[in-house]
Amino acid sequence: MEQVMCKRCVMDNTDPDIIFDKNGFCNHCTEAIRELSSFPFNLTKLQKEEELKKIISTIKKRGTRHKKYDCVVGVSGGVDSSYVIYLVKKFGLRPLAVHLDNEWDTEISVNNIESILKKENIDFINQKVNWEEFRDIQLSFLKAGVPDLEIPSDHAIFTYLFEVAAKNNIRYVINGSNTATESILPLRWSNGLSDWKYIKYIQKKFGSKKIETFPINGVFNVLKTHLIKRIKNIRILNYIDYNKEETLKILEKEYSYKRYNKKHGESVYTYFLQSYILPKRFNFDKRKGHLSSLICSNQITRDEALTSLKKELL
């Protein structure tokens, strides 16, 4: 099949669902630019600051002083979550940091987490998975031949954050997911993050162990955390002019933060998936989505993205 690439970003027809318009622009960057033109991205810098002040004020008000924490923040050692820690402390919030230890952390990511939390004096929960059970679930996804191989980790992380918030009567989970650097992710690449039945089906068909300790974000859990406990998820980076390179410089200055050679280099497993399994088995190069997102948010040029794609994956 002849490769056809978008004339505005670097997405191409290795995504079988891609659609090009008469100008040669793809549906992915067209949708990303539309989203980046909507609220809160269409606000001026001053207006964004005002909206963020309202959010911070509400979190402080509802996280009354007799409580030790007013928000839960997930930390991975990656750029986004590390900057969230920097911001919440800057704004005077009292976070409880949570990390999912799935046995795949790199040494650099562990050091980054430790240096940030130590300097900011933040309480930390390092939630370890049941390795034998979790390993079997990951193997099940590999055997199933599906591309969304990170679903077990993503589902567990999301579930743990809300479980910790519920247990400690904390109303807000603040995470580093954002539109500026993550606006493009085709459905064929990843789907089913919140679908517990999907995980259960894959494990039942391909696994050798019964699920006993893996965190379940089923209907009851959703009702408990979202409707009864009324816990809200805040994507704080969408309320600032988030720039990845500028953020890295701040983290390096404040915490002696160490950069990764690749996106998601904080996890050995994720790095291997994105650098070998996905491109070799499914012909998916997730760098195209990452780089195209940065093009759409005007953080890099298309030529810079094309140069990056010439580098070897491994």
Q: What is the pLDDT of residues 167-195, one digit of tens each?
A: 999 999 999 999 999 999 998 888 766 78
pLDDT at 313: 86
pLDDT at 299: 98
pLDDT at 69: 96
Has residue 310 been placed in a domain? no
Q: What is the mean pLDDT of residues 154-158?
A: 93
Q: Residue 264: is its pLDDT beyond 80?
A: no
Structure token pair of residue 294: 């940065």
pLDDT at 241: 95
The CATH number linked to 173 is 3.40.50
Has residue 251 been placed in a domain? yes
Q: What is the mean pLDDT of residues 99-107?
A: 96
Has residue 83 been placed in a domain? yes
Q: Residue 243: is its pLDDT beyond 70?
A: yes
pLDDT at 192: 65
Please state, for a pLDDT cut of 90, what percent of the chain lies above it. 86
Determine if the peptide bond prior to 215 is cis (ω within 30°). no
Residue of 221 and 116 predicted with greater confidence: 116
How many domains are contained in the chain?
A: 1
How far apart CA 261 and CA 82 sit, in angstroms, is 17
Has residue 189 been placed in a domain? yes
Q: Residue 5: is its pLDDT beyond 70?
A: yes
Q: What is the mean pLDDT of residues 254-281?
A: 92
- Over residues 277-287, the pLDDT tens digits come to 999 999 999 99
Q: What sign has the CA pseudo-torsion 118, 160, 232, 43? A: positive
Has residue 34 been placed in a domain? no
Q: Which of 91, 153, 81, 92 is nearest to 116 (CA)?
A: 81
pLDDT at 85: 98
Q: Residue 53: is its pLDDT beyond 70?
A: yes
Distances from the Cα of 11 to the Cαs of 14, 16, 184, 273, 309, in angstroms? 8, 11, 9, 19, 11
pLDDT at 193: 67
Has residue 141 been placed in a domain? yes
pLDDT at 242: 97
Q: Determine the structural domain holding residue 122 and report its residue range.
A: 65-283
Q: What are the backbone angles phi and psi of residue 106, rounded to the nearest 5°? A: -85, 160
Has residue 145 been placed in a domain? yes
Has residue 293 been placed in a domain? no
- Confidence category of residue 65, pLDDT binned at 50, 70, 90: low
pLDDT at 227: 73
